[in-house]
Structure 1
Amino acid sequence: MTSNFSLGLTGGIGSGKTTVANMFGELGAALIDTDLIAHQLTVAGGLAIPAIRTQFGDAAIAADGSMDRAAIRELVFADHGQKQKLEAILHPLIRKETERAALESIGDYRIFVVPLLVESGNWKNRVNRILVVDCDEETQVLRVMSRNNMERAQVEAIMRNQVSRQQRLAAADDVIVNDGDLEKIRAEVLRLHQTYLALAARHE
């Protein structure tokens, strides 16, 4: 039985959210990753594919039947109206599937991994605490350039569409600084896990 205590985990692109979330998962937290859910909605046969095809045409669908991510990324970055149309399709489905995953989850407590947690505005009311994974912006840029084989300008454009580092930190109840020292991060995760276990016990 999973405790009613829940945590929202967020951070800018390249901050290391997944690394930190997986460490909590190894300790017994139930992870619900909204990015993973969004991805599942847009693979071949995903729940969002029919609506995406209707809204954006066959050009938005790759040969394998999944959403053509490159085409859609180009479309929504160039046109805010198109971005809103995509969000109108995805966001209700993501919310529904996230709630379903939470109900089915098993762990000591729930962690919702939400890249745009602060941007979405309503997560503060849906979780008990917010944990931000933080690093300096130049580190973010270099990590994403290396990981995703992207140009600096592309990474900086994505970061401009996210809230600032200062806004994210202002929303945090807890912060883990990811400077690349995995042992230090693991120790901090373990410390916070003990805190969250104690809080979860009060939410039984």
Structure 2
Amino acid sequence: MSDYILGLTGGVASGKSAVETCFRALGVAVADADAAARDALAAGSDGLAEVVATFGSEVLGPDGLLDRAAMRRRVFADPAARQRLEAIVHPRVRATLADACRGAPGLYAMASIPLLAEGGGRDAYPWLARVLVIDVPEAVQLARLLRRDGIDEALAGAMIAAQATRRQRLAIADDIIVNDGPLEALDGQVAALDRLYRSLAAPVP
């Protein structure tokens, strides 16, 4: 059981996945919000049933599963629709992450939450002991997005603009990894934070 839970967050193309990999290599259990969100709207789930009741059966594909691309286009163009969808998904994601982390082995566990700042921050996740933000300059984010996704600069800029600002993410941070260098540079930073978190999570004698 892990009673000490860390939140991991960062903007698109910040390198969250690489940091997750480093922590997992050190034996840390990481629960992923994106996976929890997919499960919340999986076939046969009450979450999917609520989405259909809210938005209509046109959000389903021919296979009866959520047409995620169509849903994404809809909520991207309609803030009110996005809020309705988030009201269905976010509580389920929070509950899944909390259960997974509390049931994990080890001194501490980590919840990877890309939209932590956008989803209510610490108020929405009061069970997070600390928040680790993966920070990267916006110019580096943009370059990585263009290279990674093969998209044009306008779309990449819109994706960045749709998220919380760098300042908003840093405002909720206890710890920061600036990931603007080579991947190998992450190992030492993660190892140092792992030592810190283990010391903070260790039972008081």
TM-score, normalization: structure 1?
0.89
Aligned to 2:102: 103
Counterpart amino acid of residue 158 in structure 2: A
Shift of 1:141: 2.1
Aligned to 1:182: 183
Q: Distance in 1 between matches of 2:102 and 2:193?
A: 23
Whether 2:145 is the aligned partner of 1:164: answer: no
Count residues in correspondence.
Answer: 203
Aligned to 2:199: 198
Aligned to 1:33: 32
Structure 1: segments with no counterpart, 5+ residues: none
Matched position secondary structure for 1:91: helix
Matched position secondary structure for 1:112: strand
Shift of 1:102: 2.4
**Structure 1 residues 129 and 111 mapped into 2: Cα distance closer, same or farther (>3 Å)?**
same
Higher alpha-carbon deviation: 140-149 or 65-74: 140-149
Q: Distance in 2 between matches of 1:62 and 1:199?
A: 47
Which string of whole-angstrom CA distances, capped at 9 and with x for unpartnered residues, describes residues 26-70 of structure 1?
A: 112121111110022233334422112222222212233332122
Higher alpha-carbon deviation: 164-173 or 118-127: 118-127
Write the mapping of 1:73-84 to structure 2, written as runs, cut at 5 A: 73-84=72-83
Higher alpha-carbon deviation: 95-104 or 164-173: 95-104
The answer (yes or no) to whether the contact 1:5–1:203 under 8 Å persists in 2 is no
Which string of whole-angstrom CA distances, capped at 9 and with x for unpartnered residues, describes residues 85-143 of structure 1?
A: 11121122212222222232223311111112122232563211111111111221232
The two structures, once aligned, show a CA RMSD in angstroms of 2.1
Matched position secondary structure for 1:117: coil
Write the mapping of 1:1-204 to structure 2, written as runs, cut at 5 A: 1-2=1-2, 4-119=3-118, 120-121=120-121, 122-123=123-124, 125-202=126-203
Shift of 1:76: 0.8
How much identity, in percent, do the aligned residues show? 40
Which string of whole-angstrom CA distances, capped at 9 and with x for unpartnered residues, describes residues 170-194 of structure 1?
A: 3211111112412211111011101
Structure 2: segments with no counterpart, 5+ residues: none
